[in-house]
Amino acid sequence: MMHNIFIIARREYLERVRTRAFVIMTIFIPALMFGVTVLPSLIAMRMTGGSKHLVVAASDRQMAELIRDQLQKPRDDGEELQGRNKSAGSKYDVEVDTNVSDSERAALNDKVKQKRLDGVIWATDEALAANKIPYITRDVSNLSDTFGTQQVVSRAIHRRLLQKKGLSDTEIESALKPVGMEMLSPTGEGAKNPLLTFFTVFGMVMVMYMTVLLYGINVMRAVLDEKTSRIMEVMLSTATAKEMMIGKILGVGAVGLTQIAIWTATTGLLSAPGLIAGSGMIKGIISIKLGIFFPIFFLLGFMLYSTMYAAIGAMVNSEQEAQQLQFLVAMPLIASIIVLVQILQNPATPLATWASIFPLTAPLVMFTRIALDQTQSIPSWQIALSIGLLVATIYGLMVLCGRIYRIGILMYGKKPTLPEIMKWIRYA
């Protein structure tokens, strides 16, 4: 039995690794992840750089000059404002205008329209009293610069109010200095960078999701192609239906692991000489624990879904019929991604606990919980129970779907109904 399974798995593996599609997908998926996560930030950094010509209009000249000074002040002293980055933020050339008449506002507004100005900060006494200052700019969708400018103006206003209270510059600096917060576990261990942890874990989960889904569908299509070409009838003379199904699942699963190994090795080579920014921090997050649990949950998730996809491939007679049924198998994976949005915000909810134990959502959800658990708060019995239920479910599905597979691969021309599938399970 093992000999036949090995031969079928080897054939499936070599057949797919040698294809052009394997090479394309090996390059395409990391490129897609890079384009979705990193590229927008790089583009935003390029777009927000450069110099902007602004006018600050205020009846209080000291207020206007204070806003101007804060906008033009270089942030080299570690006092960077939230939302502003000294390498990515824009540089400002700021003029002060104490004429706050309606005609002056209309004239400045026209200059912005004609691109002679990049923006106008209208800090009149009325606007300050209403705690809402108009910022006239063409680039209203640039959230990074808009938020940074808002923070600077707010800081300048607070500084002016404190000056009026008689505080010295030293006292004002001390009062406005941002307070850092260090997150510590009850054991005193410091937490890793939350934002970097989020994106790293999200990237690993999406790689797992996409590879499990894509290669599960590949198993279904491989079964369907061999069924429609009648190759199954020849293969059944030397191997049983169960051996064929297990061999296909293992062969295609090995292709997925090969792809992930290539991505991991490439990332390691690029980060070794420091070519990837923050590689040391990323290595700290991708610990030995994640290196162990990622392949475990990938293989268990792949075996779980590939078994169901193989049964679908054996049941149907065309690609159209397969597309109608494969959504039912993909629904738990899609539900896992929906649940992950909540779990990434709060990994300790009851929803996270039960979804990480339920077998159909456990591969993605439990791995996410383990990846986000920086204080070792997940009980070991929950991880063991999750893996145990997954193994038991895979075995049960192997038996159940194996019976469907045994009958379905020899059924041609007729779309099976649910009662007929139940008969296959009962009598196979």
pLDDT for 86 beyond 50: no
Band of residue 389 on the pLDDT scale cut at 50, 70, 90 = very high
Confidence class for position 77, pLDDT limits 50, 70, 90: very low
CATH 3.90.640 fits 51-176, yes or no: no
Least confident of 151-160, 212-221, 279-288, 352-361: 279-288
* Cβ-proximal residues to 358 (8 Å cutoff; 6+ apart), any chain: 389
Q: Which CA distances in Å does 322 have to 69, 173, 221, 253?
A: 65, 67, 8, 20
pLDDT band at 388 (very low <50, low <70, confident <90, very high): very high
Bigger pLDDT: 259 or 354? 354
Give the pLDDT mean for 332-352. Answer: 79
Q: Which of 267, 257, 258 is nearest to 298 (CA)?
A: 257
The mean pLDDT value for 352-368 works out to: 87
Average pLDDT over residues 154-163: 84
Higher per-residue pLDDT: 221 or 273: 221
- Return the pLDDT at 267: 65
Q: How crowded is residue 3: how many other Cβ atoms within 10 Å of its Cβ?
A: 9
Residue 84 predicted with pLDDT over 80 = no
Order of strands, sheet of 119-122, starting from the edge strand that comes earlier in the sequence: 91-97, 51-57, 119-122, 135-137
pLDDT at 8 over 50: yes
Q: What does the DSSP 8-state code read for residue 121?
A: E
- pLDDT top residue among 55 and 27: 55
CA angle 205, 210, 213 (to 5 degrees): 120
Q: Choose from 135-139, 242-246, 373-377 the range with maximum mean pLDDT.
A: 135-139
Q: Which pair of tokens denotes residue 95?
A: 């003029």
- The string of pLDDT tens digits covering residues 283-330 is 444 567 777 888 888 888 888 888 888 888 878 777 777 777 888 888
Domain ranges across the chain:
2-31+193-427, 51-176
Q: What is the pTM of this model?
A: 0.62
Q: How confident is the model at residue 391 (pLDDT cuts 50, 70, 90)?
A: very high
Highest mean pLDDT pick, 69-73, 115-119, 308-312: 115-119
Q: What average pLDDT score do residues 95-109 get?
A: 89
Instruction: Convert the pLDDT of each residue in 262-289 to its tens digit.
Output: 877 776 665 554 444 444 444 444 567 7
List the one residue out of 113, 147, 144, 136 whose CA is nearest residue 50. Answer: 144
**Considering only 80-89, 118-127, 281-290, 300-309, which range has the smallest mean pLDDT?**
80-89
Q: Mean pLDDT, the chain, as a whole number?
A: 76
User: Mean pLDDT lowest for which of 97-111, 153-167, 180-194?
Assistant: 180-194
